[in-house]
Structure 1
């Protein structure tokens, strides 16, 4: 079965299996090019030469450099959200789901380190795309948090605010260890994240000797 995509032509171009592979090859190459050279320093020629694809073939799938960049951001977003969704479905509690989500994201981004620079470039290429990236990510967070609050597993707080707080944690912890250091997030860091999220910063008073609270 063939699929179609919208192009700069008047009618959509039918995509055979070979066409889908070529299109995906161009996207994978664009991920490397944009991640290393940057959007503004990269060109369609850079992408086609590294992908070993004719420049004319490129325009069968994408009308411009900006179009392939936008499609790349959307695909990266979709890919890691889908992977997180599959893994989180295995969780038996809301707390476990949060930690599985973090671990899955860190593992995924280790193999796609250019995600960080590509997303940050989006704010200059297309601010609406940049906003879409985070808003789309927040939707999944909000849904899961709302469900956990309804089950009384989490305190009832504004789920959107909590979602953006959790997104900030994953963004910067991943940047610190995965992007900057190119390593797995250490277990002690994951344990600190869990204690921070589920216990908070407030110092707990220890019970007096021989007494339990």
Structure 2
């Protein structure tokens, strides 16, 4: 799930300079995802991360100063991976509600393949509040930008797109919890169709 930004999120002055170093950093981040997802932040350990990564303990300190540092890098890595997957899934000509459906489709698929993201992001609320807020602020900002563009193009009615963005994000988060983490048996297309109908038609009686 690496992104270039995440690979550069090692502790200050410790960014990898070689392909081998980037590969080692990737292994550490992947191992940290498993360690934190299985044990939680407080019970997780640096030795557990390096054991899962198959690297020497010294390799950890080549790139990270502490458990807190790799946790912050991992939250950033996951957040940017979600953004990248959503962007890649959206058709160039899609806009408005259709674009939001595509973004939700990508998010549900990502969450099904990376269920650990929920525990790690939830842990960040207490273990790394700054990263926790940055994750949600960044996501809401991207959604609001899409809504702004759709309003400008005449595909959505004008409104408070900041509030709309946070509402959409909150809905998507809990849909992921219900239909990706707790039970992933229902087709994603059914879920996103219901959400699209909600956005297009509302729930008021006609």
Q: Distance in 1 between matches of 2:122 and 2:38?
A: 13
Partner of 2:72: 70
Say if 1:49 and 1:83 are closer, same or farther in 2 by CA, change over 3 A.
same
C-alpha RMSD of the superposition: 1.8
Instruction: State the shift of 1:108 in Å.
Output: 1.0
Larger radius of gyration: 1
- TM-score, normalised by the number of residues in structure 1: 0.88
Cα contact 1:5–1:14 (8 A) shared by 2? no
Q: Distance in 1 between matches of 2:8 and 2:79?
A: 21
Structure number with the bigger relative contact order (C-alpha 8 A, sep ≥ 6) is 2
- Partner of 1:15, secondary structure, is coil
Partner of 1:210: none
Partner of 2:38: 36
Q: Distance in 1 between matches of 2:61 and 2:149?
A: 44
User: In structure 1, which of residues 148, 164, 171 is the aligned counterpart of residue 166 of structure 2?
Assistant: 164
Of the structure 1 ranges 35-44 and 191-200, higher mean CA displacement relative to structure 2 is found in 191-200
Question: What CA deviation, in whole Å up to 9, does each residue of 1:186-205 have, x standing for no partner?
Answer: 4333222111112111111x
Partner of 1:93: 95
Question: What CA deviation, in whole Å up to 9, does each residue of 1:136-175 have, x standing for no partner?
Answer: 1111101100010111211111011000111011100110
Structure 1 residue runs of 4 or more that deviate by more than 6 Å after TM superposition: none
**Structure 1 segments unaligned to the other structure (5+ residues):** 205-213
Of the structure 1 ranges 88-97 and 40-49, higher mean CA displacement relative to structure 2 is found in 88-97
**Structure 2 segments unaligned to the other structure (5+ residues):** 1-6
Cα contact 2:37–2:116 (8 A) shared by 1? yes
- TM-score, normalised by the number of residues in structure 2: 0.91
Aligned length: 200
Partner of 1:208: none
